[in-house]
């Protein structure tokens, strides 16, 4: 029996989260839904909303990012540590890079290779920063 790598959604980010005046109320976009560990989903969500990337035009400081990461774990009800989540973010980004490269070839969309390079760059930056 094989185990699927990804879980409920692979693209959790602010643009797939409907909101009301109190904040986010859910996540939509389940195009690659499959069973898997909850931390796998949380890793991509953290990558996008904390955010944990090399793109820092969002204005968050390192201290703010660290607090946002801890808060995400807390409100999610996770027993994982920030280090656990960062490890999973790296694994998730490397998997996403490989997937993007595969899809670039299969779909004839070479621009997906650029996405893969960005995911790898971010994964390497997380590893270096730890």
Alpha carbon 19 to chain centroid, angstroms: 19
68: Cα separation from own chain's centroid:
14
Note whether 78 and 43 are within 8 A (CB).
no
Distance CA 52, CA 62 (A): 10
In the chain, the percentage of residues whose pLDDT exceeds 90 is: 50
Phi, psi of 24, rounded to the nearest 5 degrees: -65, 140
DSSP 13: S
Q: Return contacts of 89-93, CB within 8 angstroms, 24+ apart.
A: 89/43, 89/44, 89/46, 89/47, 89/52, 89/123, 89/126, 90/123, 90/126, 90/127, 91/43, 92/40, 92/43, 92/44, 92/47, 93/47, 93/119, 93/120, 93/122, 93/123, 93/126
89 — pLDDT class (breaks 50, 70, 90): very high
**Mean per-residue pLDDT over the chain, rounded:** 82
pLDDT digits (tens, 9 = 90+) for 16-47: 566 667 666 666 555 556 677 889 989 999 99
20, β-bridge pairs: 23
């Amino acid at each position: 029996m094989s185990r699927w790598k990804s879980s409920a959604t692979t693209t959790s980010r602010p643009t797939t989260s409907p909101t009301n005046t109190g904040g986010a109320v859910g996540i939509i976009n389940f195009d690659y839904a499959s069973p898997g560990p909850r931390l796998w989903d949380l890793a991509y969500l953290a990558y996008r909303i904390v955010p944990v990337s090399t793109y820092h035009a969002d204005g968050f400081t390192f201290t703010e990012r660290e607090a946002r990461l801890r808060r995400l774990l807390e409100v999610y009800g996770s027993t994982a540590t920030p280090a656990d989540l960062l490890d999973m973010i790296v694994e998730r980004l490397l998997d996403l890079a490989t997937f993007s490269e595969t899809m670039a070839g299969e779909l004839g969309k070479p621009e997906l290779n650029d996405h893969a390079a960005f995911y790898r760059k971010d994964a390497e930056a997380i590893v270096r920063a730890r």
